[in-house]
């Protein structure tokens, strides 16, 4: 079936191969907005090969100069934790990351396929996991900065691997679980629309409208109130709301996350106060952290508890000073298709789009007026946080109220019971 035929057909009548092809087309045309002559650097779990092949096909049809894919493999990762020498956990291939950064600087786009088993490292020594993460973050910093600053066009899409599917649907047979997860991914990624590319254009425009409204308000803070939560999040001076696609520094319009439902901005790293309780469990680098409850004072976490994975949480927020502070605040209505699916994906790409959330760590400089061109000191002066980590966790629910607080202290309702007012 040609691309045009697939786009015009009803979703239920499509074969799995056709649906996968639609996801690939959305990834290249909507997610990346890949330009003719651009190089593409992709990372993917081994199992995602069928999607990698289709994305590669669409990329070359769009005029890609060269597509290079780096594969990850869960058993290979576990072999490292089982047999590698101590020194391995403080090491990361900087040469490889520097090469990727050079590729980005020379015009390459980046696509990541998510699908790694979210609980892969749950049984490994948390100290080793943390050390390996720190080493990887340090080595990957130059490449990651080109991504977080949106210097290049990039996106993430998902592939339903069996291990991931079994975690999401533990009571189903593996093949049933995989089929269910695929269906959820296709719907969340809006490839079930008659014309997915057009559906994404509409969705993006709606998010943009909300972003413009929020930007016009110039709130100085947001106030969240819900079960276990009474939190004031001061916003960075000159903050900008973003959502629904972005024009990268290289001039290419892209949708950095497939799916995406959020409007997000940069909090002030010193102006967050109060208590907050997570509304969903957080899967962090292979460990599940449940029932996170945190207290902020002057922007810093002064108390953090969790009923599971507390050790991992405390290691995470001890990564560096910025790991205890917020780098992102995002609003997502409870009526988002992902929230409505009722599925807990154990994957931030999906779960962060099911609920309003906050992120510990690195702020997006693009969420500040002129931020993409600012040096680290200038960003810090406006209140933007800096850290090796950026970890989103979900705080929104059908019971969350959010107010926008103006500079003069007056407030107005933004969300009631999880919905836009």
Residue ranges that bind Zn ion, judged by CB under 5 A: 262, 264, 328, 330, 352, 359, 392
CB of 328 to Zn ion, least distance (A): 5
Q: Least distance in Å: CB of 345 to Zn ion?
A: 14
Q: Which is nearer to Zn ion, 39 or 328 (CB)?
A: 328
Collapse the DSSP code of 231 into the 3-class scheme (helix H, G, I; strand E, B; otherwise coil) and give the result: strand
Shortest Å, Cβ 240 to Zn ion = 14
Which residue, 11 or 420, is less far from Zn ion as judged by CB? 420
Pairing of β 109-114 and β 40-45: parallel
Q: In the numeric block, which tokens belong to residue 256?
A: 């950095």
Residues 6+ positions from 283 with CB-CB distance below 8 Å: 118, 119, 289, 346, 347, 348, 351
30 φ, ψ (degrees, to nearest 5):
-95, -55
Report residue 314 as tokens: 């405390």
Q: How far is the CB of 396 from Zn ion (least distance, A)?
A: 11
CB of 276 to Zn ion, least distance (A): 15
Instruction: Give yes or no for a contact between 415 and 402, defined as CB atoms under 8 angstroms apart.
Output: yes
Shortest distance, position 392 Cβ to Zn ion, whole Å = 4
38 vs 285 by CB, closer to Zn ion: 285
- Which residue lies nearer to Zn ion by CB, 132 or 358? 358
The helix/strand/coil state of 163 is helix
Pairing of strands 293-297, 300-305: antiparallel
H or E element at residue 144: helix 126-148
Nearer to Zn ion, 241 or 264 (CB): 264
CA 170/CA 269 separation, integer angstroms: 39
Q: Which is nearer to Zn ion, 45 or 327 (CB)?
A: 327
């Amino acid at each position: 079936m040609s691309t045009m035929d697939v786009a015009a057909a009803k979703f239920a009548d499509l074969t799995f191969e056709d649906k996968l092809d639609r996801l690939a087309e959305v990834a290249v045309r909507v997610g990346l907005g890949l330009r003719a002559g651009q190089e593409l650097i992709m990372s993917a779990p081994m199992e995602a090969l069928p999607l990698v092949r289709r994305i590669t096909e669409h990329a070359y049809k769009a005029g890609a100069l060269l597509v290079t894919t780096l594969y990850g493999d869960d058993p290979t990762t576990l072999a490292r934790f089982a047999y590698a020498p101590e020194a391995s956990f403080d090491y990361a291939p900087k040469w490889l990351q520097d090469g990727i950064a050079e590729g980005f600087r020379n015009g390459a786009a980046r696509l990541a396929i998510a699908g790694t088993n979210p609980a892969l490292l749950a049984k490994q020594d948390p100290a080793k996991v943390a050390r390996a993460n720190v080493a990887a973050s340090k080595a990957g910093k130059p490449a990651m900065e080109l991504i977080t600053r949106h210097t290049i066009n990039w996106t993430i899409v998902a592939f339903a691997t069996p291990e991931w599917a079994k975690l999401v649907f533990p009571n189903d047979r593996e093949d049933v679980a995989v089929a269910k997860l695929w269906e959820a991914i296709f719907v969340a990624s809006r490839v079930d629309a008659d014309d997915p590319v057009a559906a994404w254009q509409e969705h993006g425009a709606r998010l943009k409208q909300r972003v413009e409204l929020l930007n016009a308000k110039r709130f100085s803070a947001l106030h969240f109130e819900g079960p276990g939560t009474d939190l004031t999040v001061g916003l960075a001076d000159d903050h900008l709301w973003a959502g629904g696609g972005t024009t990268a520094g290289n001039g290419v319009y892209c949708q950095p996350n497939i799916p995406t439902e959020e409007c997000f901005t940069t909090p002030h790293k010193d102006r967050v106060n109060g208590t907050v309780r997570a509304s969903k469990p957080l899967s962090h680098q292979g460990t599940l952290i449940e029932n996170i409850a945190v207290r902020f004072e002057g922007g810093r976490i002064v108390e953090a508890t969790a009923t599971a994975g507390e050790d991992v949480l405390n290691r995470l927020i001890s990564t560096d000073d910025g790991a205890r502070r917020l780098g992102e605040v995002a609003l997502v209505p409870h009526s988002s298709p992902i929230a409505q699916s009722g599925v807990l994906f154990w994957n931030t790409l999906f779960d962060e789009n099911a609920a309003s959330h906050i992120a510990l760590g690195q702020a997006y400089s693009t969420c500040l007026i002129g931020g993409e061109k600012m040096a680290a000191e200038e960003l810090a002066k406006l209140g933007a946080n800096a850290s090796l980590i950026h970890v989103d966790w979900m705080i929104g629910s059908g019971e969350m109220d959010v107010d926008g607080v103006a500079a003069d202290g007056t407030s107005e309702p933004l969300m009631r019971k999880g919905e836009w007012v």
